């Protein structure tokens, strides 16, 4: 059987750090309030002259270097993002240009915070079918451009960054064992950017009413996330006939430390088996999991044969998981 194996990882965070203390000078909040409710201490903010594809390019260069590959070796680029450079063309096409990946097809995936796992699942199917040999999968966001810096309930949450992985076909026990994708469009309004599309095209009214920024119903989202993610992890492990004790590492979407802790507690997993970097990155949506995966990889927290579970929840609503044997 051919499996899709992650052969390298890479990530990029902008150099500018926005701390909770600095945020408290912008809105009515405090370091204590933010830390207690979210676990976030700081987040990264992209320079004004940088784009989402720029961040993706930097993360991709690192992943290519770590794999010892050239951009021309890639036959497909999939970018997961909700903050692309423009409505079209796809941000993936702009990344392809910057990398000079002349042999690669390219397209975007929009599944909000679940986007990276959605993209990973698509790449996995392409490799298993033999259509593509080497695929670059990227999660990249500049959410600071879509944040209402006057709304203390949301502006404390989001940050900028990018993560990338390279996949190739592999015969053996290692690789992506399964992916699981779900959605419920009935709950679309829990997390959204109301304007900018065909429903509410950009106008003076939409700009004045700040409808081009992230809107979220926090309490409803929190409750649904805890319930859904716990069940998702159970289903993923059951599908692969594994118990939580066999997991080496859970790498969740970095949205809120209370959600992460609640899910770990629900499945009986100790926090030393959970990867968390939310304190330094905030919520980077589709970039969250690949950044955390690269952090764990570079820190030596993953070794050959380990079972790694990725899980995410985001706007749509969408939720997804992937079980990997490293």
Q: CB-based contacts of 230: which residues, under 8 Å, 6+ apart?
A: 262, 263, 266, 267
Q: Which residues are catalytic?
A: 113, 253, 283
Task: Count how many Cα atoms sit within 13 Å of the Cα of residue 220 in the half-sphere of its side chain.
Answer: 10
> CA 159 to CA 278: how far, in whole Å?
10
54: tokens are 């720029």
42: tokens are 């700081």
Please name the residue ranges forming H helices in the chain.
Answer: 20-23, 31-38, 52-67, 91-99, 115-129, 152-155, 204-208, 218-239, 257-266, 278-281, 288-298
Which single residue is written with the structure tokens 């990344």? 95
Peptide bond before 317: cis, by omega within 30 degrees of 0? yes
> CA 156 to CA 3: how far, in whole Å?
39
221: tokens are 């989202």
């Amino acid at each position: 059987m051919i499996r899709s194996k992650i052969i390298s990882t890479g990530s990029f965070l902008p150099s500018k750090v926005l701390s909770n203390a600095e945020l408290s000078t912008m809105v009515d909040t405090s370091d204590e309030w933010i830390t207690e409710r979210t676990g976030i201490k700081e987040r990264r903010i992209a320079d004004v002259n940088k784009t989402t594809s720029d961040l993706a390019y930097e993360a991709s260069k690192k992943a290519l270097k770590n794999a010892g590959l050239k951009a021309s070796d890639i036959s497909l680029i999939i970018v997961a993002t909700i903050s692309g450079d423009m409505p079209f063309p796809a941000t993936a096409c702009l990344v392809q240009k910057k990398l000079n990946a002349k042999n690669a097809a390219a397209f975007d995936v929009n599944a909000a915070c679940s986007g990276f796992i959605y993209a990973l699942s698509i790449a996995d199917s392409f490799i298993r079918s033999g259509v593509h040999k080497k695929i670059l999968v990227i999660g990249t966001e500049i959410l600071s451009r879509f944040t209402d810096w006057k709304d203390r309930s949301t502006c404390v949450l989001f940050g900028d960054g990018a993560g990338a992985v390279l996949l190739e076909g592999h015969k053996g026990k290692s690789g992506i064992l399964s992916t699981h994708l779900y959605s419920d469009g009935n709950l679309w309004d829990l997390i959204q950017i109301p304007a900018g599309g065909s429903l509410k095209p950009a106008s003076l009214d939409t700009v004045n009413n700040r409808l081009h920024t992230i809107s979220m119903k926090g309490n409803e989202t929190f409750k649904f996330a805890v319930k859904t993610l716990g069940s998702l992890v159970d289903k993923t492990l059951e599908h692969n006939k594994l118990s939580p004790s066999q997991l080496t590492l859970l790498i969740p979407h970095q949205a809120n430390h209370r959600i992460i802790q609640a899910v770990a507690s629900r499945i009986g997993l100790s926090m030393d088996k959970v990867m968390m970097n939310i304190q330094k990155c905030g919520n980077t949506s589709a970039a969250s999991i690949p950044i955390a995966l690269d952090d764990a990889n570079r820190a030596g927290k993953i070794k050959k044969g380990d079972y790694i579970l990725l899980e995410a929840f985001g706007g749509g609503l969408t939720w997804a998981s992937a079980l990997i044997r490293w």
